[in-house]
Structure 1
Amino acid sequence: MKSKEEEFNLWLLEVQNLNPEAVSPPLMKEHFKRFIEDYNTATLPHVKYYSLEKWEAEERAKRYNTSRDRVEEEGTTFDFAKDEEEIRKMHRQWSNVPPPTGPLYTKEQLLEVRRVTAERIQAEKLRKMGFTPKESMGVRYE
């Protein structure tokens, strides 16, 4: 059970909607049998339940636009200088983007947002007093 404990706990939490810390040991064994059966028959709902480490490495590779081989080569080491250089590149890219010109919202849009906010506050007060407000209160239609 120790080698697949992380995968099992994740499966228990996400698929079975059970907190692993709150499950009794007999029930835990029963769920683990089901997990292992699904594992052995390759019927788990997602790839991450088979090998969480491998799945996380692939996700990191996707996130940082690198190949999976590069992530496996680097392993779990972290290069701070490289990370700082990537951050500098991102800052340079964003500094070249001109700021938006003019207002983001028109005066009518701002008034509409204020009206909707006031309606939401009023609807919440009505709910607290025990009344049921109209469904359209505090809703903005476009």
Structure 2
Amino acid sequence: MPHSPDQTEAEHIVQRFTEAWSKMDPDAFTPLFRPDVRLVHPMDRDTRGVDEAREFMRRTMTLIPDLRYDVHGWASGSGHVLIWGRLHGTLGGGPVEWPLVDRIALVDGLIAERVAYFDPLRVIAAVLRRPRAWLPYLSTRLGR
């Protein structure tokens, strides 16, 4: 069951989460996740378990290979860590970016659940406007 992380535990997971994003390697996230981790996203089905989470990250990084997460801030309370910032990269030959908030539940210092909150229309509009993005986007959708 998630508990309210103390300041040190919250700060530690934010640092490790930010470092994982900087590596652009799906396996960089694996040590952060509990084996039964649940990831919730507005553009994809929920994932359960480390293998599905790794596969989701691989698809995302395949679609936008230079994807970066600029963390603007974080807070903890009510049993969760909130991280907010901006994702940005290149999709179909042009820039794409969107703000997001991640709500993370920790159990024993590991991520038990991550819910990403963002407007998926920013990404979908970029895909629709750029024919070079159509095939990569469809292959990530069909690859799941």
Q: TM-score range by the shorter chain?
A: under 0.3
- Taking structure 1 as the reference length, what is the TM-score of the superposition? 0.22
| Structure whose CA Rg is larger | 1
Decide which structure has greater helix share.
1
Decide which structure has greater strand share.
2
Flag the structure with more relative contact order, 1 or 2, with Cα contacts below 8 A and sequence separation at least 6. 2
